[in-house]
Amino acid sequence: LLDVIGHQRYHYLDGGLQAWLAEERELCTTVPIAGTQAVALQLDATPTATREYLQSRLGAADLAIWDARAPSEYSGEKALAQKAGHIPGAINFEWTAGMDLARALRIRQDIQAQLNSLGITADKEIITHCQTHHRSGFTYLVAKLLGYPRVKAYAGSWGEWGNHPDTPVER
């Protein structure tokens, strides 16, 4: 969302609150005064993949579809839409597999090698999705942090794809 609204200066707290607390860092409950000045936004659709765009790219050699859902969702064993399975050609790498449990949920230090071994490489356009684009928000961020130049988020995710009558599905 920050990329879509043109906010280019943001930071990511690797490991989130869990890592912060694990390092016994200070917490503050003071609520800052909210600004009242209008903010000018420049919307940029570049970081977003629509269903139509994704369908038009299926089978492209320079495309990697990163399915961040659980393996049971990817395989179709667990159905959370009218159709079960995955987008044709999608690569399943569950979002939590990118976190290092021994390092308070920080991004795995070997994440680049893991993604490369799966074919999710920087020379491809990466389109990431999950069920509702909550989990794939993390995978989008990981690809961006790794410096992948062409990363898109499919916000409609499986909630749209799995319920649309004209989308192909693999199991």
Residue 99: give its domain's CATH number: 3.40.250.10
Asked whether residue 29 is domain-assigned, the answer is no
Q: Would you state the pLDDT for residue 143?
A: 96
Range of the domain at 96: 45-161
* Domain membership flag for residue 142: yes
Q: State in Å, rounded, how far the first CA of the chain is from the last one.
A: 31
Is 106 within the bounds of a domain? yes
The answer to whether residue 130 is catalytic is yes
Q: For the whole model, what pTM was predicted?
A: 0.89
Is 129 among the domain residues?
yes
Query: How many domains, the chain?
Result: 1
Determine the Cα angle at 153 with ends 117 and 127, to 5°: 35
Average pLDDT over residues 21-40: 90
Tens digits of residue pLDDT in 42-80? 899 999 999 999 999 999 999 999 999 999 999 999 999
Percent above pLDDT 70 for the chain:
99
- Residue 70 pLDDT: 98
What does the mean pLDDT of the chain come to? 94
From the candidates 105, 126, 130, 155, give the one annotated as an active-site residue: 130
